[in-house]
Amino acid sequence: MNIELIPAIDIIDGKCVRLTKGDYDQKKVYNENPVEVAQHFESLGFKRLHVVDLDGAKSKHIVNDDVLRAITAATSLVVDFGGGIKTEEDIEKAFDAGAAMVTVGSIAVTNPQLFLNWIEQYGAEKLILGADVRNGKISINGWKEDSSEDLLPFLKQYTDKGVRNVLCTEISKDGTLQGPAIDLYQQIMKAYPDMHLIASGGVSCNDDIRALETADIPAVVFGKAFYEGKIKVEELF
């Protein structure tokens, strides 16, 4: 497959978990040791990893940077890290702990100037704009709040400044195994054809990944489908 394949590890209390639709009350623990999970992904042939600090997203500062450090020390995976990156101290912590890239969402809404400063300081290739969408609006702070920002204009202000990497999660799909929001991703790609768009939310099987590839979506994140045994990895490579 040409589509970039990015497995995800979501962390609460140092454990590998998945939520449904971003609801912290609908939490399922899949593994007590995220490092083992990351090593398993690497052994299967994956090169990339998306790590989300769900404690961090909720508490508005990085919490699980020690888990990130352990994963990057134990594997050669190219890891992007998100969740709770709100300050200069947070972003430095993430890079110090071995993240190749950071995913920043809420700050791009609440403090655009800081996000633009980071693009200038670290380079656009090191930052992934996290655009989490619910009912067409950008959602922030661990999906606890919806902003007034509409998706496409929100993306434009940053693509105009050189941002290429965008991770877009359709929250109503996330963790549901009901198939990804392909129409939404096609709209984004039509508006911004040069974007390295990472689709996230709803992937349930290999066919969903193939459908995203057929729709020319550059990359996909998946989690629950893998943990529930619904992805046939040998057919992906």
Q: Write down the pLDDT at residue 175.
A: 87
Q: The tokens 């609460």 sit on which residue?
A: 12
Q: Are 126 and 101 in contact (CB under 8 A)?
A: yes
Q: Write down the pLDDT at residue 131.
A: 95
Asked if 160 is an active-site residue, the reply is no
Q: Write down the pLDDT at residue 147.
A: 87
Asked if 10 is an active-site residue, the reply is yes
* Amino acid at position 111, single letter: N
3-state SS, the chain, equals: CCCEEEEEEEEECCEEEEEECCEEEEEEEEECCHHHHHHHHHHHCCCEEEEEEHHHHHHCCCCCHHHHHHHHHHCCCEEEEECCCCCHHHHHHHHHCCCCEEEECHHHHHCHHHHHHHHHHHCHHHEEEEEEEECCEEEECCCCEEEEEEHHHHHHHHHCCCCCEEEEEECCCCCCCCCCCHHHHHHHHHHCCCCEEEEECCCCCHHHHHHHHHCCCCEEEECHHHHCCCCCHHHCC
Q: Write down the pLDDT at residue 142.
A: 67
- Read off the pTM: 0.95
Distance CA 124, CA 164 (A): 7
Catalytic residue among 10, 53, 80, 174: 10
pLDDT in tens, the chain (237 residues): 899 999 999 999 999 999 988 888 999 999 999 999 999 999 999 999 999 999 999 899 999 999 999 999 999 999 999 999 999 999 999 999 999 999 999 899 999 999 999 999 999 999 999 999 998 899 887 677 888 999 999 999 999 999 999 999 999 998 899 999 999 999 999 999 999 999 999 999 999 999 999 999 999 999 999 999 999 999 999
Q: Write down the pLDDT at residue 133.
A: 94
Beta bridge partners of 98: none
For the chain, list the domains and their CATH numbers.
4-235 (3.20.20.70)
Catalytic residue among 53, 55, 65, 132: 132
Provide long-range contacts, Cβ within 8 A and 24+ apart, for 59-66.
59/84, 60/84, 60/86, 60/106, 60/141, 61/86, 61/87, 61/89, 61/90, 62/90, 62/93, 62/94, 64/11, 64/14, 65/93, 65/94, 65/96, 65/97, 66/14, 66/97
